[in-house]
Structure 1
Amino acid sequence: MLFGKRRDRPHESPLQLPDIALDGGWWAFARARHERTGLWPLLLHGLSEREPDRPWLTGELHPGRSGGTPSDHDPEALLARWWAAGEPEPEEDEEGLLDIVAPFLNGWPGRADAGVPRADPDELGGAEFRSLLAADWIHGSRPGLVPAGRGADVPTVLGWAGPTNHDSDISRVSAVLRDWEDRFGTRLIGLGFDTMYLSVAAPPVERDHALRVAAEHFALAPDNITQGTGSLAEYAGDLMESTRWSFWWD
């Protein structure tokens, strides 16, 4: 029984936690049945080895908290606004952020063009789920099922608070995820306390395209770059032909 029984979880949460032993084929099995069940599958993991149940079993999910829906928002406008909020004026650039966001020193560069599909998004989602499940840094991994029409809407349905320090309205994040589903064939395959994992069927394969995609990632999750690679240029190199995108928020 790959859907199994439900484990206990806060009664107000729409999250279902099947009481099963996870295997690498579970996501593909559940995804193939999504149209019938309405349940989107994903791998959940905890905050740390000491706190593997956060936020799934600790009352830290708040459905309805956003007050809006993903369709309320224009993803291009959101990305431009987030970029502007994180871009310093040259005279105020004490931390060298302008070096980080080079070569885009004249403001928001605009959304990247759509990628060219290299795989079926759902087949790739299953493969990347298997890879994610095997990662030795995943703490308290468990399967989750969420009543959502598409993976992009899962964070909003859950009232997930991972990006709260960046933007407290999670429906805005879902709006961008919807856009990435359309342009890059992404599928949401995993969530942590403040981390998110997408499979990517149409990743950038050329440098200039990867830089534009990197700018979108900086707008959504600047910690990926400022506390990660340290520059858009290096980050873009990591994105080229990568079939999994990972995000985290401090």
Structure 2
Amino acid sequence: MLGDAAPLPETETVAEPGPEPEPEPTAAVEPEAGEPSASATEAEPDEVDKTVVPPQEYFTPSRPKRELLDLEPPPQPKDEPPQTPETLPLDVSGSPRAALRNAGITVPHMQQIVQLGDVRLWAFGVRADEALGWWLQIRQVHEKTGWLPVLLGSPDDWLDNGEGVLHEGDAELERMTELDAETLLHDKAAEAGEPPRGVPILPTRGDSDFAVPKSDGLIGLVEAEHSWQIPALLPWKGSTNWELYGAEHATILKHWHERHEVELVSMTWDILELYVPNPPSAEEDALDTAREVHAYCPDLMAAGVPTLDDLAVHMVRSRAWYFRWA
């Protein structure tokens, strides 16, 4: 469920021209009331659907030509995408493939790469030029499937049940009830200290570019109602140098979701990326948001953002928020 988030646009699939016509795939049919839906355990085809859209340039090397939610669905891969390590569990009962197929999306075979209690993280390999398109297509059918996508980066980081990315603990989502976003951000701002101020000097341009999808990697699927829950469900430890754990991340992301409708796009071992449909517009709101961003990730100021005012200008115009902790 997205609450008050802006509705996602519909996409249209067009058959790819080729030297020889392919048989037209059978369209997914919604089951009538009382009829059983496809089971996750039934036999599944070895090859993915050949229906594709015409080749599109989703990004330029520096930034995309369109906003994220204007992207078309990705073409179905003609070859096998980058593979995850062979040591990981194979696609078995309980994977999201059946739910996605019922929603009209055919994906490659998946692997379960993390299991923590009742939470399972499934993934398949994607190429860089397909990553955001896959994220969008799976995100659009969340209300039908219950599964949310997140780009995970390199598969090597997720070996051994994600022990390099996740910390121990199975009650982070429950621990959120003990936290208040404004209090948490106030305390972290005091720890971070006062950021430098000054006339903005960085170029003032819109930014809807994401870093993680620039390389081949994994796209993961987690069963959740909101993407802000994912760092707590798994739980993520990419910023433990700043003493933020799954519950803290989820609390802050929920706060920004309520204000700016943010969606989690990427989560690697040290990077979080958010899509922001409704960035702050007024100068005062932008400065307040920049202070929160600095409290959440003060390492940004050491990574090329000279002043809080530069950060505020970026917050006003950006639909892609990037966080990386040293």
Verify same fold: TM over 0.5: yes
Over the matched positions of the two proteins, sequence identity in percent amounts to: 27
Q: Tell me the distance in 1 between the aligned counterparts of 2:212 and 2:109.
A: 26
Distance change in 2, residues 1:163/1:77 (3 Å): same
Q: One-letter code of the match for 2:142? A: H
Q: CA-to-partner distance for each residue in 1:17-47, whole Å, 9 max, x for gaps? A: 135664543222211222232211021213x
Q: Which runs of 5+ in 2 are unaligned?
A: 1-47, 49-105, 199-207
Q: Tell me the distance in 2 between the aligned counterparts of 1:102 and 1:19.
A: 43
Q: CA-to-partner distance for each residue in 1:167-200, whole Å, 9 max, x for gaps? A: 2432011111011111001111111211111111
Shifted more, 149-158 versus 135-144: the winner is 135-144
Is 1:54 matched with 2:157? yes
Is 1:153 matched with 2:259? no
Question: Offset at 1:227?
Answer: 3.2
Question: Offset at 1:140?
Answer: 4.1
Q: What is the RMSD of the two structures over their aligned residues, measured on CA atoms?
A: 2.7
Counterpart of 1:71 (choices 177, 182, 200) is: 177
Q: Secondary structure at the match of 2:148?
A: strand
Is 1:34 matched with 2:142? yes
Distance change in 2, residues 1:189/1:24 (3 Å): closer
1:100-111 equivalences in 2 (<5 Å) = 100-102=195-197
Show the counterpart of 1:213.
289
Is 1:85 matched with 2:191? yes
Shifted more, 224-233 versus 236-245: the winner is 224-233
Show the counterpart of 2:15.
none
Q: CA-to-partner distance for each residue in 1:55-77, whole Å, 9 max, x for gaps? A: 46553223635644333311011
Q: CA-to-partner distance for each residue in 1:209-244, whole Å, 9 max, x for gaps? A: 211110000111111123331321121122222111
Question: Offset at 1:11?
Answer: 4.6
Counterpart of 1:5 (choices 106, 109, 112) is: 109
Instruction: State the TM-score, normalizing by the size of structure 1.
Output: 0.72
Higher helix proportion (structure 1 or 2): 1
Q: Tell me the distance in 2 between the aligned counterparts of 1:238 and 1:75.
A: 22
Q: CA-to-partner distance for each residue in 1:105-136, whole Å, 9 max, x for gaps? A: xxxxxxxxxxxxxxxxxxxxxxx6xx53xx58
Shifted more, 57-66 versus 186-195: the winner is 57-66
